[in-house]
């Protein structure tokens, strides 16, 4: 197990280096002068721009710049943001909890809704529940997240007034802790009310996909001989479905949802802007517009790192779900 | 019950009735208290005011820090930390008398040496402040001796636009400079209480502000990048104030009882620039044909209803040099066709119109496309993302482009770098007129306002005649606020002022 974890760790290294190179080159290939954008046209002075480019090392050949960047990266230095005048590591750490919280809640939501939806769909195959579930899942997958986000805001904030339109209602973990430390339930309700709309918008495509995967997985498994065997031994249908079928049907779902957890970070990039959610996504979007290279690189590496981590976790989970899989 | 007791009771009853009557009587006047939440487009980049460049950061710096002079709502310079000032006959020596009742948020007093420290900090190459260039014109500054003004600044050469430079020189004393990173403090009307990145900036009224204490107890800036979300937050009470209201929401918001829409003519102009380094825009006839073919009124009506005014020239109505009697080339298709006929390309031509991303830019471009088609110019619209667009502009890699120029209302800031032939990078249309050059130089060196206004008006008429830039419109600053917010006005620079030193102080109805 340990050696497997080590191997996965080593495999992640080339991925991260590749991402850093790709993002480094792509960010600099798009035309645009970070200093000019920051200063604004009205205050720009050509000599100043040239001097700033020199100071930032932007006048050197790209390979030299990259080598320099990689050198600092190895020492854990992601550079300093041009716009914020602060180390990128600090900026990311400030915003990471908000992004993790949103992605985490959306993940729980997508499993919590997607799996039951898929099971119902498979068990009641061809019935009205199945069609409804298919409709919900296909809809969730095909609607663009930002559009769904705006739609949810219009319906549930503006028209119905049920949930706040934007912002974070305080850290969820802190709010949950408040219940035990005498702060009452209000902070938790407040935190959750702010989470509802963005997490639904973020989870929608995952709900759809997970429901589809669960449905097809269940249908496959339900046709297997051992299910027939279980039924013929007179096991209750409930037990057949949940203990025998679902567990095996979930293996592909784990793979997909693992990958999706990574994609939730990506989806959060756009939705954080729509919902004014104080996470890494907003930092990244602004940084691209500003050509704040250090921040673009840092945010991309952070997301890539998350991806790698989740994938490794998924591989480990196979073993728990399927006794035939062992890691040596 | 004794008579005494009875009369006392009657007296109390009368007093209560009187109180209730007063309480119910008509509109309540300005009162202290309340928490005003502003929806800002983005979070501040940092709270070091000497590094601030974008409007949304400057907007917050304006609350915490103070400057020597400010602009009132009509665009006039009014004293802030400076009580009065004068300039020597040759326009090089500026003398300032400073307020002696100013204290910082930590209780320390303000004096002239703080201004000098601020200038030195900005001029220090180590800091790399974006304001360093502007202050390069300062040769010497010193604290005045007895019998002299408090602060004496000597410029390398006369500059009538010097006060405009001071508008963004936020005074930070030496003993507070170390705090700029964590807890910036200045002498502005509000004190920073809390900054949660990307969530909120909370400010509270500064009781010892040199002007009247702000009527608002608390002021909160919430960054909300998506404009539709900002509008919903305003409608649902999550914020009380926002600006840059989108045109498509304007009519709906204006119709709502609980929302108030206010606007101010901005200090800007939006142009279509023609690249004179490329054919056929080197031909004045082609440029004039375009100038007469554009129907500015229609452009405003269709794309900027209620949010802009058609332009005659570069000077916006908010500028002190604005000339009411001046009229630019109006829409005149006959004349436009006449100029085309006499041009090097009588049969028309095709060209690209470069714009930056944005819904209004795109709609405006389509309209311009159809207007120019009338005189035989086939326009292909090319849209670029902002950073890329700026690069193309600086590199002069375009045929025609649309861009807006926004500064404070100082005509030097509005015109010099776009029109002077020495300004290579920013004179992106390649306007090269010895008359314009000499007028701009003379106006810069002049300190008499009337004289300067006359010179800039002359520049305006030559610039319009040269038609390297087609002046299209001046955009307004449009703000929308909850009806509980009173006496808020958008400022011509887009800044937000809530204290009463520039106009009426903003206040809120508190339940």
For the purposes of burial, counting CB atoms within 10 Å of the CB of B279, is it exposed (0-12), middle (13-18) or buried (19 or more)?
middle
Subunit contact B46:A279, Cβ cutoff 8 A = no
State the ipTM, two decimals: 0.82
In this structure, the number of other CB atoms found within 10 A of the CB of residue A195 comes to: 25
User: Count of domains in chain A?
Assistant: 2
Rounded to 5 degrees, what are φ and ψ at A124? -100, 40
- Return the closest-CA partner of residue A312 out of A261, A268, A271: A261
Rounded to two decimals, what is the model's pTM? 0.85
Subunit contact B385:A289, Cβ cutoff 8 A = yes
Rounded to an integer, what distance in angstroms lies between the CA atom of residue B453 and that of residue B445?
13
CA distances to A231, A275, B5, B200, B254 from B37, in Å: 63, 17, 50, 9, 20
A103, part of any domain:
yes
A260, part of any domain:
yes
Rounded to an integer, what distance in angstroms lies between the CA atom of residue B497 and that of residue B494?
10
Please give the pLDDT value at position B82. Answer: 96
Judgement on whether residues A134 and A16 belong to the same structural domain of the protein = no
Rounded to an integer, what distance in angstroms lies between the CA atom of residue B366 and that of residue B500?
44
Which H or E run includes A186?
helix A186-222
Bridge partners of residue B272, in order along the sequence: B402, B470
Nearest CA in chain A to B415: A42
Angle between helices A186-222 and A128-142 (to 10 degrees): 120
- Examine the fold and report which residue of A10, A43, A74 is the final residue of a domain before the chain moves on: A74
> Any CB–CB contact under 8 A between B422 and chain A?
no
Sequence-ordered alpha helix ranges (H) in B328-399: 333-341, 359-373, 386-394
User: Hey, which residues 264-283 in chain A have their CB within 8 Å of chain B?
Assistant: 273-276, 278-279, 282-283
**Do residues B101 and B210 lie in contact, with contact meaning Cβ atoms separated by under 8 Å?**
yes
Rounded to an integer, what distance in angstroms lies between the CA atom of residue B234 and that of residue B36?
12
**Per-residue pLDDT averaged across A14-21, rounded?**
88
Judgement on whether residues A12 and A157 belong to the same structural domain of the protein = no
> Any CB–CB contact under 8 A between B233 and chain A?
yes
Rounded to 5 degrees, what are φ and ψ at A113? -95, -40
> Any CB–CB contact under 8 A between B130 and chain A?
yes
Please tell me whether residue B221 adopts helix, strand or coil conformation: strand
- Return the closest-CA partner of residue A201 out of A165, A273, A158, A147: A147
> Any CB–CB contact under 8 A between B148 and chain A?
no
> Any CB–CB contact under 8 A between B134 and chain A?
yes
A79, part of any domain:
no
In this structure, the number of other CB atoms found within 10 A of the CB of residue B188 comes to: 28
Tokens at A10, concatenated: 């080593």
Rounded to an integer, what distance in angstroms lies between the CA atom of residue B443 and that of residue B452?
5
- DSSP labels, A212-279: HHHHHHHHHHHTSHHHHHHHHTT--HHHIIIIIIHHHHHHHHHHHHHHHHHHHHHHHHHHHHHTT--S
- DSSP labels, B87-156: E-TTS-EEEEEEPSS-B-TTSPBP-HHHHHHHHHHHH-TTT--TTTTGGGGEEEEEE--TTS-SEEEEES
A86, part of any domain:
no
Angle between helices A145-152 and A246-274 (to 10 degrees): 70
**Do residues B161 and B320 lie in contact, with contact meaning Cβ atoms separated by under 8 Å?**
no
Subunit contact B387:A290, Cβ cutoff 8 A = yes
Bridge partners of residue B356, in order along the sequence: B384
**Do residues B276 and B431 lie in contact, with contact meaning Cβ atoms separated by under 8 Å?**
yes
User: Which of B388, B403, B417 is opposite residue A31, by nearest beta carbon?
Assistant: B388
A89, part of any domain:
no
Domain holding A175: CATH number? 1.10.3720.10
> Any CB–CB contact under 8 A between B31 and chain A?
no
Rounded to an integer, what distance in angstroms lies between the CA atom of residue A265 and that of residue B360?
31
Q: B393 Cβ partners below 8 Å, 6+ apart?
A: A41, B273, B354, B401, B403, B428
Judgement on whether residues A107 and A188 belong to the same structural domain of the protein = yes
> Any CB–CB contact under 8 A between A150 and chain B?
yes
Judgement on whether residues A138 and A279 belong to the same structural domain of the protein = yes
**Do residues A294 and A85 lie in contact, with contact meaning Cβ atoms separated by under 8 Å?**
no
A82, part of any domain:
no
User: Which of B133, B198, B387 is opposite residue A282, by nearest beta carbon?
Assistant: B198
- Examine the fold and report which residue of A24, A43, A74 is the final residue of a domain before the chain moves on: A74
Judgement on whether residues A213 and A273 belong to the same structural domain of the protein = yes
- Examine the fold and report which residue of A74, A108, A130 is the final residue of a domain before the chain moves on: A74
A159, part of any domain:
yes
Rounded to an integer, what distance in angstroms lies between the CA atom of residue B354 and that of residue B133?
29
CA distances to A35, B414, B442, B447 from B91, in Å: 33, 20, 12, 6
User: Which of A40, A49, A83 is opposite residue B45, by nearest beta carbon?
Assistant: A83
Subunit contact B225:A150, Cβ cutoff 8 A = no
User: Hey, which residues 61-120 in chain A have their CB within 8 Å of chain B?
Assistant: 83-86, 91, 94-95, 98
Identify all chain B residues contacting A91, using CB atoms and an 8 Å cutoff: 197
Sign for the CA dihedral angle at A263, A264, A267, A270 comes to negative
Nearest CA in chain B to A147: B228
> Any CB–CB contact under 8 A between B116 and chain A?
no
Judgement on whether residues A65 and A171 belong to the same structural domain of the protein = no
A84, part of any domain:
no
**Do residues A33 and B390 lie in contact, with contact meaning Cβ atoms separated by under 8 Å?**
yes
Judgement on whether residues A202 and A274 belong to the same structural domain of the protein = yes
Judgement on whether residues A60 and A158 belong to the same structural domain of the protein = no
Judgement on whether residues A60 and A190 belong to the same structural domain of the protein = no
Which H or E run includes B469?
strand B469-482
Please give the pLDDT value at position B13. Answer: 61
> Any CB–CB contact under 8 A between A167 and chain B?
yes
Subunit contact B424:A46, Cβ cutoff 8 A = yes
Pairing of strands B308-310, B82-87: unpaired
CA distances to A76, A274, B338 from A27, in Å: 20, 23, 48
Tokens at B74, concatenated: 């009509």
Judgement on whether residues A52 and A147 belong to the same structural domain of the protein = no
Nearest CA in chain B to A165: B233
Please tell me whether residue B298 adopts helix, strand or coil conformation: helix
User: Hey, which residues 183-242 in chain A have their CB within 8 Å of chain B?
Assistant: none
Judgement on whether residues A6 and A141 belong to the same structural domain of the protein = no
Please give the pLDDT value at position B22. Answer: 46
Give the pLDDT of chain B (511 residues) as one tens digit per residue. Answer: 455 565 666 655 655 555 554 444 445 688 888 999 999 988 888 899 998 888 899 999 999 999 999 999 988 899 999 999 999 888 899 999 999 999 999 999 999 999 999 999 999 988 888 888 888 899 999 999 888 899 999 999 999 889 999 998 999 999 999 888 778 999 999 999 999 988 999 999 999 999 999 999 999 999 998 888 999 999 999 999 999 888 888 889 999 999 999 999 899 999 999 999 999 999 999 999 999 999 999 999 999 988 999 999 999 998 889 999 999 888 999 999 999 999 999 999 999 999 998 888 999 999 999 999 999 999 999 999 888 998 899 889 999 999 998 888 889 988 998 999 988 778 999 999 999 999 999 999 988 889 999 999 999 999 999 999 999 999 999 999 999 999 999 999 889 999 988 888 999 998 7
User: Which of B51, B232, B413 is opposite residue A85, by nearest beta carbon?
Assistant: B51
Between A237 and B501, where is the model more confident?
Answer: B501
Cis previous bond, B280, omega within 30: yes
Rounded to an integer, what distance in angstroms lies between the CA atom of residue A57 and that of residue A63?
12
> Any CB–CB contact under 8 A between B54 and chain A?
yes
Between B222 and A212, where is the model more confident?
Answer: B222
Domain that holds residue A23: 2-74
Judgement on whether residues A37 and A68 belong to the same structural domain of the protein = yes
């Amino acid at each position: 197990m340990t050696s497997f974890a080590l191997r996965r760790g080593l495999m992640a290294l080339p991925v991260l280096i590749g991402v850093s190179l790709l993002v480094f080159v792509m960010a600099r290939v798009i035309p645009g002068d970070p200093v000019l954008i920051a200063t604004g046209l009205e205050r720009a002075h050509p000599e100043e721009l040239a001097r700033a480019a020199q100071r930032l090392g932007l006048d050197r050949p790209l390979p030299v710049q990259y080598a320099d960047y990689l050198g600092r990266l190895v020492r854990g230095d992601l550079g300093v943001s041009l716009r914020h005048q602060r180390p990128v590591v600090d900026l990311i750490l400030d915003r990471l909890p908000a992004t993790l919280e949103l992605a985490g809640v959306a993940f729980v939501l997508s499993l919590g809704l997607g799996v039951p939806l898929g099971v119902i769909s498979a068990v009641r195959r061809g019935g009205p529940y199945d069609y409804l579930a298919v409709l919900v899942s296909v809809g969730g997958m095909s609607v663009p997240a930002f559009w769904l986000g705006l739609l949810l805001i219009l319906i549930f904030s503006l028209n119905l007034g049920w949930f706040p339109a934007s912002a974070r209602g305080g850290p969820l973990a802190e709010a949950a802790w408040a219940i035990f430390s005498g702060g009452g339930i209000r902070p938790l309700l407040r935190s959750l009310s702010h989470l509802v709309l963005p997490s639904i918008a973020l989870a929608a495509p995952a709900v759809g996909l997970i429901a589809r995967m669960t449905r097809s997985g269940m249908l496959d498994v339900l046709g297997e001989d051992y299910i027939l065997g279980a039924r013929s031994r007179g096991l209750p249908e409930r037990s057949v479905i949940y203990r025998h079928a679902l567990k095996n049907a979930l293996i592909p779902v784990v793979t997909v949802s693992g990958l999706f957890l990574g994609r939730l970070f990506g989806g959060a990039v756009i939705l954080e802007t729509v919902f004014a959610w104080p996470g890494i996504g907003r930092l990244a979007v602004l940084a691209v517009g500003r050509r704040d290279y250090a921040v673009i690189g840092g945010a991309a590496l952070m997301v890539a790192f998350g991806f790698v981590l989740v994938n490794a976790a998924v591989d480990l989970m196979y073993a728990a779900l399927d006794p035939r899989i062992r890691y040596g | 019950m004794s008579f005494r007791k009875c009369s006392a009771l009657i007296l109390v009853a009368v007093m209560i009735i009187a109180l209730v009557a007063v309480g119910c009587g008509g509109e309540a006047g300005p009162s202290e208290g309340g928490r005003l939440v502003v929806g800002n487009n983005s979070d501040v980049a940092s709270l070091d005011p000497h590094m601030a460049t974008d409007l949304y950061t400057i907007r917050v710096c304006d609350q915490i820090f103070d400057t020597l002079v400010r602009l009132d709502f009509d665009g006039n310079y009014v004293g802030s930390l400076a009580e009065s000032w004068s300039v020597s006959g040759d326009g090089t020596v500026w003398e300032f008398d400073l307020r002696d009742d100013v204290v910082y948020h930590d209780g320390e007093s303000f004096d002239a040496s703080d201004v000098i420290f601020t200038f030195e900090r900005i001029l220090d190459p180590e800091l790399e402040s974006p304001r360093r260039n502007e202050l390069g014109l300062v040769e010497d500054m010193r604290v005045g001796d007895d019998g002299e003004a408090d602060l004496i600044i000597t410029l390398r050469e006369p500059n009538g636009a010097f006060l405009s430079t001071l508008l963004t020189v936020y005074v930070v004393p030496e003993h507070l400079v170390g705090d700029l990173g964590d807890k910036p403090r200045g002498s502005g009307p509000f004190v920073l209480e809390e900054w949660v990145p990307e969530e909120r900036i909370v400010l509270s009224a500064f009781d010892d502000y040199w002007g009247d204490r702000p009527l608002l107890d608390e002021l909160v800036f919430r960054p909300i990048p998506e404009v539709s979300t900002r509008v919903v937050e305003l409608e649902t009470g999550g914020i009380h104030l926002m600006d840059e209201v989108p045109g498509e929401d304007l009519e709906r918001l204006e119709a709502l009882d609980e929302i108030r829409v206010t606007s101010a003519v901005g200090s800007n102009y939006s142009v279509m620039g023609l690249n004179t380094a490329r054919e056929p825009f080197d031909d004045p006839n082609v440029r004039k044909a375009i100038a007469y073919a554009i129907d500015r009124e229609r452009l405003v009506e269709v794309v900027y209803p209620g949010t802009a005014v058609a332009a005659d020239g570069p000077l916006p109505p908010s500028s002190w040099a604005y000339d009411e009697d001046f009229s630019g080339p109006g829409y005149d298709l006959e004349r436009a066709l006449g100029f085309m006929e006499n041009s090097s390309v009588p049969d028309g031509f095709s060209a690209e119109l470069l714009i930056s991303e944005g819904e209004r830019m795109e709609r405006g471009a389509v309209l311009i496309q159809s207007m120019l088609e009338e005189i035989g110019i086939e326009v292909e619209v090319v849209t670029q993302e902002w950073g890329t667009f700026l690069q193309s502009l600086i590199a002069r890699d375009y045929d025609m482009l649309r861009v807006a120029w926004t500064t404070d209302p100082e005509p030097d800031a509005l015109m010099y770098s776009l029109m002077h032939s020495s300004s290579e990078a920013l004179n992106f249309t390649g306007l090269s007129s010895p008359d314009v050059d000499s007028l701009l130089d003379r106006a810069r060196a002049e300190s008499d306002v009337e004289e300067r206004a006359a010179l800039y008006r002359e520049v305006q008429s030559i610039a319009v005649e040269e038609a390297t830039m087609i002046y299209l419109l001046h955009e307004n600053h449009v703000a929308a606020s909850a009806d509980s917010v009173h006496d808020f006005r958008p400022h011509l620079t887009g800044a937000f002022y809530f204290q009463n030193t520039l106009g009426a102080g903003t206040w809120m109805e508190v339940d």
